[in-house]
């Protein structure tokens, strides 16, 4: 990639603020009382299962859809009912939506021409941006003669060249194979850090969202389930849905039993207890019922030994399934309370791996334990498949 664009910060980024935005189609609520603040220059992702309202949210910000209620503010300007062509926003569409009747050059130049940018300036800018997306010399090509990845980059160039204050990207990688997708992710991120504009990125690929975002939200059924930096949201999921949607989680039903010194004790079904930092308890518990969670990779697994000394939370169980995955071992452990817990142990050659049927002890530090309110509506497998 060329260095030409590196120094130039293309635009002044803006912040985006959605207040109580609701969108319903024929009475069906697609986006429900959404409140969202995106900082200027941020790489912000919208994450969630299919049909949760990501595209709808994006389309309202882009101006292709009017909210049923609520307001949208871009850089301090209320644009709730402003036409798309009057917003300093550009979109990279899920399907690229390149102009089939125009060549690459005219596709990229389309926005500049509408803004009445001078001819020579258009030529320089288009040339520069094609360098940035690594497609120099493609000016005269027809867009339908380009590969998917190339079309993708043209769509990106076509939006970026206008130096918008905000760039909206709707699942821009969905049609790319894994390798190209990875390459593009890196490229996008480097462009973003170079041009410094606000990116609002829609995806239902959680890994993509976590690797690229400064912050992200997880949406479900038109509502925000969790918001924060990827690590925040991952380590300390705010709801059962976020915990299950983002990465794998072990969630055990329990009841709040008592508190002491910043730690809350939760009893599981058959008398065993787990400790959770009180700060990581959900704020709005409607009763004593909670779900205690721990990520599989945070758990240590030991073959049972009467003399074993453990710190933090401890559970006993029996290995049901043990799978060797090369970089590690994955275990499915049935606890004495009847719950299944997944454990992921890295293959660092330290201990002898427990085998199926062996009695084991699971332990993890208290600070890696979290608790969430049980979901009111059950989480279907469809929602988790991404």
> What minimum distance in Å lies between the beta carbon of 83 and ligand ATP?
18
Q: How far apart are CA 92 and CA 155, in angstroms?
A: 6
Q: In 3-state terms, what secondary structure has residue 125?
A: helix
In the set 55, 90, 151, 249, which binds ligand ATP (CB under 6 A)?
Answer: 55
**Span 4-43, contacts to ligand ATP by CB under 6 A:** 25, 30
Q: Are 221 and 227 in contact (CB under 8 A)?
A: no
27 binds other proteins (CB under 8 A): no
> What minimum distance in Å lies between the beta carbon of 205 and Mg ion?
12
In the set 85, 140, 261, 380, which binds other proteins (CB under 8 A)?
Answer: 85
Q: 239 forms bridges with which residues in the sheet? A: 373
Residues whose CB is less than 8 angstroms from the CB of residue 239 and which lie 6 or more positions away in sequence, other chains included: 225, 226, 282, 372, 373, 375
Q: How far apart are CA 196 and CA 199, in angstroms?
A: 9
Binding mask 173-202 for Mg ion (x = CB under 5 A): ------------------------------
53 binds ligand ATP (CB under 6 A): yes
Q: Which two tokens stand for residue 228?
A: 């924060």
254 binds, among Mg ion, ligand ATP, other proteins, none (CB under 5 to 8 A by kind): none
What is 32-100 written as a DSSP string? EEEEEEE-TT-EEEEE-STTSSHHHHHHHHHTSS--SEEEEEETTEE-TT--GGGSSEEEEBTTB---T
Q: In 3-state terms, what secondary structure has residue 364?
A: strand
**Span 145-204, contacts to other proteins by CB under 8 A:** 158-159, 162
Q: CB-wise, 173 or 243, nearer to other proteins? A: 173
> What minimum distance in Å lies between the beta carbon of 15 and Mg ion?
23
CA dihedral for 377, 378, 381, 386, sign (positive or negative): positive
Task: Single out the segment in contact with ligand ATP by CB under 6 A; choices: 45-53, 99-107, 321-329, 367-375.
Answer: 45-53
Q: 372 forms bridges with which residues in the sheet? A: 291
> What minimum distance in Å lies between the beta carbon of 200 and other proteins?
13
> What minimum distance in Å lies between the beta carbon of 120 and Mg ion?
39
> What minimum distance in Å lies between the beta carbon of 168 and Mg ion?
12
62 binds ligand ATP (CB under 6 A): no
Q: Within its chain, how far is the Cα of 125 from the centroid?
A: 32
Residues whose CB is less than 8 angstroms from the CB of residue 123 and which lie 6 or more positions away in sequence, other chains included: none
Q: CB-wise, 86 or 140, nearer to other proteins? A: 86
> What minimum distance in Å lies between the beta carbon of 217 and ligand ATP?
12
> What minimum distance in Å lies between the beta carbon of 1 and other proteins?
24
Binding mask 93-122 for other proteins (x = CB under 8 A): x-x-xxxxx--------xx--xx-------
90 binds other proteins (CB under 8 A): yes
Q: Are 129 and 117 in contact (CB under 8 A)?
A: no
Q: Which two tokens stand for residue 254?
A: 């329990």
**How many C-beta atoms surround the C-beta of residue 361 within 10 A?**
18
In the set 10, 18, 52, 55, which binds Mg ion (CB under 5 A)?
Answer: 55
Q: How far apart are CA 170 and CA 199, in angstroms?
A: 11
45 binds Mg ion (CB under 5 A): no
What is the helix, strand, coil percentage profile of the chain, to 5? Answer: 25, 35, 40
204 binds, among ligand ATP, Mg ion, other proteins, none (CB under 5 to 8 A by kind): ligand ATP
354 binds, among Mg ion, other proteins, ligand ATP, none (CB under 5 to 8 A by kind): none
Question: Contact positions toward other proteins, by CB under 8 A?
Answer: 62-64, 83-85, 89-91, 93, 95, 97-101, 110-111, 114-115, 158-159, 162
Applying CB under 5 A, which residues contact Mg ion? 55
């Amino acid at each position: 990639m060329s260095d030409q664009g590196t120094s130039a910060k293309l635009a002044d980024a803006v912040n985006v603020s959605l207040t109580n935005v609701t969108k319903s189609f024929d009475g069906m609520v697609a986006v429900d009382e959404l409140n969202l603040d995106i900082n200027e220059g941020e790489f912000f992702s919208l994450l969630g299962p299919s049909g949760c309202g990501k595209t709808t949210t994006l389309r309202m910000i882009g101006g292709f859809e009017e909210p049923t209620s609520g307001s949208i503010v871009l850089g301090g300007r209320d644009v709730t009912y402003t036409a798309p062509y009057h917003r300093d926003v550009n979109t990279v569409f899920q399907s690229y939506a390149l102009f089939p009747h125009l060549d690459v050059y005219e596709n990229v130049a389309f926005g500049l021409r509408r803004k009445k940018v001078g001819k020579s300036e258009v030529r320089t800018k288009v040339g520069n941006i094609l360098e940035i997306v690594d497609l120099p010399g493609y000016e005269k090509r027809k867009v339908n003669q380009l590969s998917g990845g190339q079309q993708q980059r043209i769509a990106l160039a076509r939006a970026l060249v206008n130096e918008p204050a905000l760039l909206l990207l709707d699942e821009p990688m969905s049609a790319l194979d894994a390798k190209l997708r990875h390459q593009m992710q890196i490229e996008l991120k480097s462009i973003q850090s170079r041009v410094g504009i606000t990116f609002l990125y829609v995806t239902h690929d959680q890994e993509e969202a976590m690797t690229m975002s400064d912050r992200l939200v997880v949406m479900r059924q038109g509502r925000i389930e969790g918001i924060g930096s990827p690590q925040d949201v991952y380590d300390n999921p705010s709801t059962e849905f976020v915990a299950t949607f983002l990465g794998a989680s072990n969630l055990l039903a329990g009841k709040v039993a008592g508190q002491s010194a910043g730690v809350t004790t939760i009893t599981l079904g058959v008398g065993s207890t787990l400790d959770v930092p009180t700060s990581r308890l959900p704020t709005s518990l409607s009763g004593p019922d909670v779900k205690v969670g721990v990520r599989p990779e945070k758990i240590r697994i030991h073959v049972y030994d009467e003399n074993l000394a453990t710190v933090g939370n401890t559970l006993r169980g029996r290995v049901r399934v043990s799978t060797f995955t090369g970089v590690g071992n994955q275990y499915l452990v049935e606890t004495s309370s009847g719950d299944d817990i997944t454990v992921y142990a890295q293959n660092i050659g330290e201990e002898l791996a427990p085998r199926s049927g062996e009695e084991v002890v699971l332990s993890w530090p208290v600070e890696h334990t979290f608790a969430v309110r049980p979901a009111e509506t059950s989480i279907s497998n469809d929602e988790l498949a991404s």
